[in-house]
Amino acid sequence: MSVNRPNPVSVGTIVWLASELMFFAGLFAMYFTVRSVMDPAAWAAETAHLNVKFAAVNTTVLLLSSITCQAGVTAAEGFRPIRTGKLWQVTRWGMNEWITLTYLMGAFFIGGQIFEYASLVHEGVTISSSPYGSVFYLTTGFHGLHVIGGLIAFLMLLGRSFSAKRFGHHEATTGIVTSYYWHFVDVVWIALFCVIYLLQ
């Protein structure tokens, strides 16, 4: 009788993401602490500068990227690195096409966040303008850095796929663990969006 051991790469990635979860828990704790001690009127004046509709569109793009990322994982598990049909036949896309689309959607999100930062700075909300500005930029900024980390991981995944003579288990595993990270980043943003933009 054989024993199926868990993939050590997957286990290691999950453990690492658990530590990242603690990091973001600390950021949430900081956000709520500052909110509890800051004057409600001053807090409301700061949150009035947020463009909730724009952030909702940006959030939707990031969430949809999780679907495209998972489609890439499905292709990787089937050992299909490249498409087997025409470019417009998305049902026959391989991992590379799905991950490229995911990368573009993630880059769109980062571009949207930079645009939002520029707009807020123009309106006087900076990291040093108030306690609210500090917690807003720290929480969303650290998340943005994690998204950029995911984009770099996608580039490495694509590079490994293109350079591999034969797409096998190692390449597929790389795609799977990268998707773990990307889904984690998306889930964290859902929480951030609800707290910062919806609850205010």
Distance of alpha carbon 113 from alpha carbon 61, whole angstroms: 12
* Averaged pLDDT of the chain: 91
Q: What percent of the chain has pLDDT over 70?
A: 96
Distance of alpha carbon 57 from alpha carbon 109, whole angstroms: 9
* The 3-state secondary structure of 111-173, one letter per residue: HHHHHHHHHHHHCCCCCCCCHHHHHHHHHHHHHHHHHHHHHHHHHHHHHHHHHCCCCCHHHHH
pLDDT band at 3 (very low <50, low <70, confident <90, very high): very low
pLDDT single digits (tens) 63-106: 999 999 999 999 999 888 888 888 888 888 999 999 999 999 99
CA distances from 33 to 26, 30, 44 (A): 10, 5, 16
Pair 184, 19: CB distance under 8 Å: no
> Which pLDDT score is estimated for 5?
54
| 113 token code pair | 């966040």
> Which pLDDT score is estimated for 1?
39
pLDDT band at 49 (very low <50, low <70, confident <90, very high): very high
The average pLDDT across 114-122 equals 96
Distance of alpha carbon 60 from alpha carbon 128, whole angstroms: 29
pLDDT band at 164 (very low <50, low <70, confident <90, very high): confident
CA atoms in the 13 A half-sphere facing the CB of 127: 8
| pLDDT for 10 beyond 90 | no
The pTM of the full predicted model, rounded to 2 decimals, is: 0.90
| 126 token code pair | 């900076």
